[in-house]
Amino acid sequence: MSQALSDLSPQSPITPVKLDLDDQFQFACHNRIACFNKCCQSIDIQLTPYDILRLKTRLGLTAREFLFRHTVPFEMDGHGVPGLKLRTRDETTQCPFLTEQGCGVYEDRPTACRYYALGLMSMRKKDSPTDEDSYFVVKEEHCLGHDEPQTQTVRAYRESQGVDVYDDMNREWRQVVLKKRSCGPTIGKPSDRSLQLFFLASYDLDGFRDFVGTPSFDEVYVVAPEERERLMQDDVALMRFAFRFLKQSLFGENTIPERPGAMEKRLARRKERLEAGAAGEAR
């Protein structure tokens, strides 16, 4: 979330008070509370790459099968950077994994569900190499959890909800998104190819694994045999590698060794193909 808390409207469910890890807030959710499951009746959940990895594994689906069945695309910013939201149950606003007993994928629920009723705000100051996290309370009218007599620190709540591993897995991806937003017009409108690469490396692990296994990838990047084998077998290792690839391909960071002159040769061949195609169309 990039909106300043001071800019929130009076109708916003967000309490405009910035919290740090050791600040306390009052909230509890359990199956005996009258509003149990109500928040899952009307959802608008943005999925992170690690959310998708956990859910597709839980459901026994490939990444592409999960994307097709359970996601809806949207644009994360004015430049068209692609994001994905969880698809709701047909003709409703309900979470597709909601059951009478509660969440049907609770152990692998998305980051947004784990944080509720907290929100995370990550911002990067100009010329700062790192992003700063802060937290805020979300108070929706239907939620009775804020009336429960339980107080805890943000740190303790995060630990109880298993948020730490999700944030750790998505940290480099969030840095890519934040850097793109903070750079703004200085980088210019992303090319269609860069947007395709962002989608591939962020969400489509199957497609990215195929890409890493191609001879054209090997022509440009140096990947040790043992690491390549791990990338072909381990989704978590592949996802972390994908974020390194995004930093390099979008911002020129030196995260993956390149073969000398290989990228220039590849770009030259691509230019030749484009010029040949243009010449063919002109005839």
Q: What local confidence, expressed as pLDDT, does residue 15 receive?
A: 64
Q: Up-side HSE of residue 160: CA atoms within 13 Å toward CB? A: 12
Question: Which of 23-32, 163-172, 180-189, 215-224 comes out lowest in average pLDDT?
Answer: 180-189
212 plus 243 within the same structural domain? yes
**Of 256, 240, 230, which is closest to residue 53 (Cα–Cα)?**
240
246 plus 204 within the same structural domain? yes
Q: What is the pLDDT of residues 39-54, one digit of tens each?
A: 999 999 999 999 999 9
Question: Helix 235-251 crosses helix 192-203 at what angle (to 10 degrees)?
Answer: 160
Structural domain total, the chain = 2
Distance, in Å, from the CA atom of 264 to the CA atom of 283, rounded to the nearest integer, reads 29
139 plus 72 within the same structural domain? yes
246 plus 126 within the same structural domain? no
Distance, in Å, from the CA atom of 95 to the CA atom of 38, rounded to the nearest integer, reads 10
Non-local (6+) Cβ contacts of 223 within 8 A are 212, 231, 256
Q: What local confidence, expressed as pLDDT, does residue 78 receive?
A: 83
Distance, in Å, from the CA atom of 14 to the CA atom of 5, rounded to the nearest integer, reads 8
pTM above 0.95, yes or no: no
Distance, in Å, from the CA atom of 138 to the CA atom of 237, rounded to the nearest integer, reads 34
Element (H, E) at 97: none
Domain boundary among 157, 180, 203: 180
- Cβ–Cβ < 8 Å for 36, 102: yes
Q: Up-side HSE of residue 31: CA atoms within 13 Å toward CB? A: 5
What are the strands, taking DSSP E only, across 30-144?
A: 71-75, 82-86, 98-99, 102-103, 118-123, 132-137
Q: Both tokens of residue 70?
A: 């359970």
- CA angle 164/4/142 to nearest 5° reads 70
Q: Answer whether residue 249 is part of any domain.
A: yes
Residue 248: other Cβ atoms inside 10 A? 16
Q: Which residue has the higher pLDDT, 270 or 199?
A: 199
At 178, the pLDDT band (50, 70, 90 cuts) reads confident
Q: Answer whether residue 186 is part of any domain.
A: no
Q: What local confidence, expressed as pLDDT, does residue 273 receive?
A: 66
What are the strands, taking DSSP E only, across the chain?
A: 24-26, 71-75, 82-86, 98-99, 102-103, 118-123, 132-137, 151-153
Distance, in Å, from the CA atom of 37 to the CA atom of 26, rounded to the nearest integer, reads 19
- Cβ–Cβ < 8 Å for 66, 56: yes
Is the pLDDT at 186 greater than 80? The verdict is: no
Distance, in Å, from the CA atom of 171 to the CA atom of 152, rounded to the nearest integer, reads 24
174 plus 205 within the same structural domain? no
86 plus 225 within the same structural domain? no
169 plus 253 within the same structural domain? no
Q: What is the mean pLDDT of residues 200-221?
A: 95
Q: What is the pLDDT of residues 220-277, one digit of tens each?
A: 999 999 999 999 999 999 999 999 999 998 888 999 999 987 767 767 766 776 666 6
- How far apart, in Å, do the first and last CA atoms of the chain sit? 50
At 8, the pLDDT band (50, 70, 90 cuts) reads very low
277 plus 208 within the same structural domain? yes
Structural domain including 256 reads 191-282
138 plus 28 within the same structural domain? yes
241 plus 114 within the same structural domain? no
157 plus 118 within the same structural domain? yes
